[in-house]
């Protein structure tokens, strides 16, 4: 694991936490660790405890959904500068998708239980973290919905996209 000073620099440099107060950043450092995933390794598994989230520093991660009798369907591919995982913040803290390293991945992980406790004790930290996560969660849910609609046929997805543009 990197030194706390190094982890603070990584947090400062990552777009997701850009501009965060240094005191709040220091609280984040206490829950952070550097991690590395080889191709094919899972960062999260559907139905299993969601106990971490990741600031992706290098590499690509495929967010997948299992389709019985078929190969997993990739809903989204995420890479450097993005944040992976939000189920750690929503009870019952269970992963909703599989997340598999498509390439060698380097990431800064955050322990969800540690961070939830710090957020509970420091409302300013809780606000800062949630203010950054909620828009991302909305975007990811909308993207997943459109990808799933594509599985059921292009005409359904096209109708939903058209309705969205009109509204």
Q: Provide CATH code, domain 4-166.
A: 2.60.120.10
The tokens describing 33, both together, are 């660790």
Q: How far apart are CA 58 and CA 31, in angstroms?
A: 20
Reported as a single tens digit per residue, the pLDDT across 114-125 is 999 999 999 999
Residue 143 has pLDDT above 90, yes or no: no
149 against 151, higher pLDDT: 149
Q: What is the pTM of this model?
A: 0.81
Q: How far apart are CA 85 and CA 89, in angstroms?
A: 9
pLDDT for position 45: 97
**pLDDT band per the 50, 70, 90 thresholds, residue 67:** confident
Reported as a single tens digit per residue, the pLDDT across 26-62 is 999 999 999 999 999 999 999 999 999 999 999 999 9
Q: What percent of the chain has pLDDT over 70?
A: 87
Question: Quick one: CA torsion of 68, 74, 80, 83, rounded to 10 degrees?
Answer: -60
The answer to whether residues 29 and 109 touch, using CB atoms and an 8 Å cutoff, is no
Start-end of H helices in the chain:
4-13, 22-29, 112-121, 123-151, 154-166
12 against 142, higher pLDDT: 12
CB within 8 A of 88, min separation 6: which ones? 50, 51, 52, 53, 110, 112, 115, 116
Which residue in 74, 62, 136 sits closest to 99, CA to CA? 62
């Amino acid at each position: 694991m990197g030194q706390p000073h190094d982890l603070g620099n990584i947090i400062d440099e990552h777009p997701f936490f850009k501009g965060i107060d240094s005191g709040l950043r220091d609280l984040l450092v206490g829950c952070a660790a550097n991690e590395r995933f080889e191709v094919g390794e899972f960062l999260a598994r559907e139905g299993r405890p969601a106990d971490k989230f990741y600031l992706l520093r290098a590499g690509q991660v495929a967010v997948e959904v299992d389709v019985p009798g078929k190969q997993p369907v990739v809903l989204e591919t995420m890479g450097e500068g993005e944040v992976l995982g939000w189920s750690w913040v929503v009870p019952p803290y269970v992963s909703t998708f599989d997340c598999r390293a498509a390439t060698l991945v380097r990431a800064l992980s955050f322990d969800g239980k540690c961070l939830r406790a710090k957020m509970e004790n420091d409302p300013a930290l809780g606000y800062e973290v949630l203010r950054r996560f909620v828009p991302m969660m909305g975007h990811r849910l909308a993207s997943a919905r459109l990808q799933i609609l594509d599985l059921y046929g292009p005409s359904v997805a096209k109708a939903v996209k058209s309705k969205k543009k009109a509204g």
